A and B are shown apart, each in its own frame.
Chain A
């Protein structure tokens, strides 16, 4: 069965069959919508929503899991006036600067793969493999790569830049940079697969038409492919930001332990270090709520920025 919707012609539902038919359809659609979306909502509310609510409560207490001593909203006040907290937020902000790379590079790779050059299927398989590797291994490899006598410095020496020896993980700023590079590397596989999936949904006749019109490959990429991939770029942006803010814990733990100083302590790591590791779960809940709010804000911002042209915002 072909899915080309254009084959079917104008839908019969547009026929002016009168009000009763349309509203009955609408009711059925509504009922089906509620029914089908109910399981997911139930799961999310019961297993995610309820704990968030509890976390909001506990964030205003001193809680070790068993006894909770009420403190009140002043916990938020003291957290938000803590200079260490702002230093940590700064790290998150800097990490955001890596997002364009974490999305742009896979876009290019997916486009290259989409050209179907010989062996592209093999490469497609290979590029995704790093996603299967645990953060511990990635962190260890990164440690070795950025070390004083590690691969990066060897490479620099090989190409004649031997004087630019770096001890990346010893400085606060450079350690964050090394972390960002490792993060971008780790997102390549996932984002490439997302964009490849997206590119496969594109109507090839559009591409053909553009080529016939005389556009070069790059022009086609920027003017035709990218806009059509808007949904997928939006999707990738959201999960990349979420990864950066809440999935890097193991990597940071293995690579730098949050240091040196506060150099690579993102808010996520800070939650672990200030709350979880010391069984001060109220503090952990507090910073977790703050992180949650920040991510929602970032999500809303990107919704504005990458709004679809056809008015199909979410």
Chain B
């Protein structure tokens, strides 16, 4: 299996831990990722809000490059995933937008036909790789680890391409395959506050608090996320949240970090250290890991 990898700015910056854990995990599963040459910013949600046409052109350049390269585009960052998909939808649904995109791309000698599939890692892991193949790679089942699966808004809204819009379960099933206990987390698609933490700080902090507090009340050892911005919001504002609402410390990690851990990859190589709130987990000594693997089969 081979995919064209679109890191976007997050996975090279704020969300570096996502890339640093996803790449070794994918390699471990025998998936080849080739980084898209000469990729540019996806425009994220911010640019969409300012100028839709320009934002779509920006994203479409990446789609055109990927199409030229051939194969499917893997976009791990939730914002990239949404913007690239949205551009594709707009390209097909609105002739005026297609005209603008065609015109702009032709200026740099590019052409976008609208075919390249934009895929999310969860989609690939569940539908291309399959849970059975993943279970076979588990060396260190996450027995006893209680995880709150947190999807955020962007991978299921407005387009629910590979999961349910209101009750996504792909990450739940993935984490269960790793041996973790997935708690029922009703806020799994509720907003993390997005950029509100930077603009209307009080409102943003409140949203972060709601998510963390509910995870804490339900006994989660950590939240697992698929989005660099969600991870940042849930990780970086603990001090402010604690000052305002009291102690609600729960670490937030990428699902890919938990996969690496379960696969038995060296913990030091999975970028856990990059988070502000430390996450650590040791399998409970009482239960032998091998036995749990058998049980999970």
Q: Do A and B come from one complex?
A: no
